[in-house]
Structure 1
């Protein structure tokens, strides 16, 4: 890859990370809301993950990548599906930390988010927004 291409990919990764930080904040806020409404930490995390992935899809579509040109619903489903591997890594790290180390949910979400970042970036870049 040329120098300019590397810089472009680095900037995409940087923007993806900034958007992911916003997604993390959405994830934690929705999780806290779910917990306050009586959901358990695992069901609440499923709801908060869906909210966060929708938030990151919308911002990545506008800020990080060019829209794919497919119908918006198809693109959203494609993004959710493509990020499922990163989401699985994210959730697994979260669940292990909550179950075995009794980590606070916010800290567990942060660790899971970092673990899934690279997988999600590659999936979004190579599958959704080619």
Structure 2
């Protein structure tokens, strides 16, 4: 239960970074709804790795390079899932507010990433 708590804290912080950066890049800087998701997801992924490594799962026992590679492999595929769900929602419902699409995409990616991180990256 403790792992799930810290995973949700990490994910919540990552979500705030992701949604906030997406909002700023779209709403303030005038970018379209698709390109800003890339740096937003990457920023959130870096943040969640730090939190998950320190508080959620602990270090994996692998070298930092191996752990980092595994984390980014799961994170990248999770980001693809996130971006695919977001894009599908924005394409199918163009009047949908981007932040709503971010919520649904992030929840889907969260479920995928928890299992990937706990079983592939930080499994000891």
TM-score (norm 2): 0.86
1:41 maps to what in 2?
Answer: 33
Stretches of structure 1 that go unaligned for 5 or more consecutive residues are 1-9
| Separation in 1, partners of 2:121, 2:71 | 6
Q: How does 1:22-33 map to 2 (within 5 A)?
A: 22-33=13-24
Is 2:13 aligned against 1:14?
no
Structure 2 gap segments, 5+ residues each: none
With the length of structure 1 as denominator, give the TM-score of the two structures: 0.82
The count of residues paired between Structure 1 and Structure 2 equals 121
Structure 1 60/33 Cα, relative in aligned 2: closer, same or farther at 3 Å? same
What residue in structure 2 maps to residue 86 of structure 1?
78
Q: What is the CA-CA distance between 1:21 and the residue it aligns to?
A: 0.9
Question: Aligned-pair RMSD on alpha carbons?
Answer: 1.7
Moved over 4 A (4+): none
2:56 is equivalent to residue 64 of structure 1: yes
Partner in structure 2 of residue 108 of structure 1: 101
2:46 aligned to which of 19, 35, 54 = 54
